[in-house]
Amino acid sequence: MGLPRGIAARLLVVQLAVLLLVAVVATAALWADSRQRAEQAAADRSLAVATTVADSPRVAEGLASADPTAALLDYSLDVTRDTGVDFVTIMDRDTVRVTHPDPDEIGRRYLGTTGPALAGRSMTETFTGTLGPSVRAVVPVRDADGGIVGLVAAGVTVDRVTEVLGARLPGLVGTVGALALLVAAGAVLLSRSLERTTWGLGPEEMARMLAYYESVLHSVGEGIVLVDRDRRLVLHNDQAAELLELELDPATGPVEVSALGLPPAIERLLVEGTTADEVVHLPSGRVLVVTQRPALPTGRTGSAARLGTVTTLRDRTEILRLSGELATLRTLSDAMRAQTHEFANRLHTIVSLIELERPREALALAASELETDRRASEGGLAADADPVVRALVCGKTAQAAERGVRLSVRVADGTGDPGVPATELVTIVGNLVDNAIDAAADPSVATARGDDRGRVELSLSRTDAGGLVVEVADDGPGVDPAVRPRVLEFGVTTKAGDAGPRGVGLALVARSAARLGGRVEVGDADAPLGGARVRVVLPAEPRTAAADPDRADARDGGVRA
């Protein structure tokens, strides 16, 4: 029959076995100690009695008389009866008994050690004599001159000592048994508590379950972080370590969240332990969607105390990048569709004029439309304007026109090669223009200004140091002063309504500017159109995200408003 399955049951069996062994050993040790103490007490009592008898003048006088037995036998028997010893034997110097409880032993030699006593020293020993094993003491008897004239032996039989111990044995066993039961009860309670904690699982099952948990934890595509109630990181998977740039040795144990060097926003979320639903954060150039929930125990643990928080991290950087590219392509597609529609109308008009034999009018119309299209397509663009900028402006112009907004573009000479990655440029210009169009197309603003056509101005220029400046202004309501300090954070918006994602565009612009080593300036006091003005200044040689040494800015949107 093997051990029980559960680790708690196994521990209980081992504890009870050890307890039984300890109880047996303790009982034996206490019995041996009690026996030793009883024998020592018997020896001390025998020595006291023998010394008292030997010091009595009557004994020395009796030994010197003509009939020592007659003189001392009654006395020795009285002492034996009154002192509780089993025998008092008086002998002469030749160790011949002159008194003994058994009259047949009188006149015979004493059985036992007498050498030390004959030399003048008292002694005790355990010896088997005529009455059986006994604990005895032998003391010399001296006359008035100090000479040894005889010996006195007094003792208690071992049977008497055993009887005394036998009377104590029930109490001894009862005490040990009561203590054993008390310890056993504690072991049972501990076992039950341990069984609840371990769910009744055995070591093999617990090891297998831990292996399953480790496998699942490190195989999921999302980052998982567990923070306990003391705000310490106690568990994380490989994906979380990659997303948060953690370099922790699992053997170090829990680590204070404040000591991890996390971005301030994520550190604040983990420390506060508040519930978060799909909150966007931007550490190290990534776009992370963070969800945080309380870590509550299951019903199997028997506890309702909160363990801490579980935080999941989903990397949406690539998805947002592809979404941005798709939005740009959709904008260009809409612009091409609008132009195709206009070209079809113009072509039909020209064909009709030719059919009506009005070639001069048809030629003049075609020439004027070509000139108009050329000017519209350039729209303030420099001759060396970047193709990406040209395509983006073309699409945004058509998009603004569809919403009743006039987009004016000024691209200065020398910006033909912006020196900025196309994806970053599309993110910055596209989001700034989109926000400006939304603000200029606001119906409430159109009513206030007395017309239904808003205005947006986009300009690209160079600083004296050769840096690129992207500036977008609109005639919308401007930026609420209460929101302005946080307007570059994810989720912060001044737009009304809740349709679609809010507080994303400017945050992406700020992130791109930070990656390139630039800055974002938001203001409306000196806005040329009376609404908001956003200015992005990028250095002449923008740095890449991988080379960004400023972890504080790059990891948590450190851009100034």
pLDDT at 546 over 50: no
Give percent of the chain with pLDDT exceeding 90.
Answer: 7
Q: Report the pLDDT averaged over residues 199-210.
A: 69
The per-residue pLDDT for 503 is 64
Contact (Cβ atoms closer than 8 angstroms) between residue 487 and residue 502: no
pLDDT at 137: 92
* Burial class of residue 423 (count of CB atoms within 10 Å of its CB; 0-12, 13-18, 19+): middle
The per-residue pLDDT for 498 is 47
- Average of per-residue pLDDT across 430-458: 78
Q: Which two tokens stand for residue 251?
A: 């053997």
Per residue, what are the HEC states of 458-514? EEEEECCCCCEEEEEEECCCCCCCCCHHHCCCCCCCCCCCCCCCCCCHHHHHHHHHH
Residue with tokens 């947006």: 456
Phi then psi for residue 202, to 5 deg, are -85, 170
Q: How confident is the model at residue 410 (pLDDT cuts 50, 70, 90)?
A: confident
Cross-strand pairs, 347: none
Please report how many Cα atoms fall inside a 13 Å half-sphere around the Cα of residue 432, on the Cβ side. Answer: 32
Query: How many Cβ atoms are within 10 Å of 386's Cβ, its own excluded?
Result: 21
- Three-point CA angle 82, 66, 51, nearest 5°: 35
For residue 496, what pLDDT is reported? 59
**Which letter does DSSP use for residue 121 in this model?**
-
Q: Which helix (H) or strand (E) holds 226?
A: strand 223-228
Pairing of strands 288-295, 308-315: antiparallel
On average, the pLDDT of the chain sits at 78
Least confident of 26-35, 140-149, 326-335: 326-335
Distance CA(75)–CA(85), nearest Å, equals 14
Give the percent of the chain with pLDDT over 70. 78
CB 156 within 8 A of CB 134: yes
Cα–Cα distance between 215 and 211 in angstroms, integer?
Answer: 6
Average pLDDT over residues 414-431: 80
Over its C-alpha atoms, the chain yields an Rg (Å, rounded) of 53
Contact assessment for residue 229 and residue 310, using Cβ atoms and an 8 Å cutoff: no
Contacts of residue 320, Cβ cutoff 8 Å, sequence gap at least 6: 287, 508
Give the tokens for residue 45.
């009592």
pLDDT recorded at residue 535: 92
DSSP helix/strand/coil, 253: coil
Report the first-to-last Cα separation within the chain, whole angstroms.
Answer: 76
Amino acid present at 50: A
Residue 229 pLDDT more than 50? yes
Per-residue model confidence as pLDDT tens digits over 139-194: 999 988 888 999 999 988 877 777 666 666 777 777 777 887 887 777 777 777 76
Residue 558's pLDDT is 34
Winning range, highest mean pLDDT, from 15-29, 128-142, 515-529: 128-142
Rounded CA-CA distance 340/333 in Å is: 10
pLDDT at 286: 74
**b (16+ CB within 10 A) / e for 192-231:** eebbeebbbbbeeeeeeeeeeeeeebeeeeebbbbbbeeb
pLDDT value at residue 99: 92
Q: 55-73 burial string, b = 16+ CB within 10 Å, else e? A: ebeebbebbeeeebbebbb
Neighbours of 331 (CB within 10 A): 21
Which is higher by pLDDT, 144 or 291? 291
Comparing 558 with 121, the larger pLDDT belongs to 121
Band the pLDDT of 20: cuts 50, 70, 90. Answer: confident
pLDDT at 500: 46
The values of phi and psi at residue 154, to 5°, are: -130, 145
Q: Please give the single-letter amino acid code of residue 192.
A: R
Estimate to the nearest angstrom the gap between the alpha carbon of 55 and the chain centroid.
Answer: 81
Over range 79-98, report the average pLDDT.
Answer: 89
pLDDT beyond 70 at 480:
yes
CA distances from 383 to 3, 371, 466 (A): 88, 16, 19
Whether 417 shows a pLDDT value over 60: the answer reads yes
For residues 111 and 89, the answer to whether their CB atoms sit within 8 Å is no
Say which amino acid occupies 382. Answer: A
Looking at residue 198, its pLDDT comes to 66
pLDDT at 449: 56
Give 285 or 513, the one with higher predicted confidence: 513
CB 49 within 8 A of CB 78: no
- Quickly list H helices, 234-316: 238-244, 264-272
Q: Mean pLDDT throughout 12-38?
A: 78
Flag whether pLDDT at 53 surpasses 50: yes
To the nearest 5 percent, what fractions of the chain are helix, strand and coil? 50, 20, 30
Higher pLDDT, 372 or 258: 258
Q: How many residues does the chain have?
A: 561
- Please tell me the class of the 220-315 domain: alpha beta
Q: Which fold has domain 380-556?
A: Heat Shock Protein 90 (3.30.565)
| Interatomic CA distance for residues 152 and 97, integer angstroms | 9
555 band by pLDDT with thresholds 50, 70 and 90: very low
Check the CA dihedral 139-144-145-147 and report its sign.
negative
Q: Which residue has the higher pLDDT, 23 or 548?
A: 23
Q: Would you say 335 and 342 are in contact if contact means Cβ atoms under 8 Å apart? A: no
Q: How far apart are CA 202 and CA 435, in angstroms?
A: 61
Residue 36 CB neighbours (<10 A)? 10
Other CB atoms within 10 Å distance of the CB of residue 337: 11
Task: Give the sheet arrangement for strand 132-142, strand by strand.
Answer: 87-92, 148-157, 132-142, 123-129
User: Fold for domain 7-165?
Assistant: Beta-Lactamase (3.30.450)
pLDDT in tens, 298-324: 655 555 567 889 998 888 777 766 776
Residue 295 near residue 308, CB atoms below 8 Å: yes
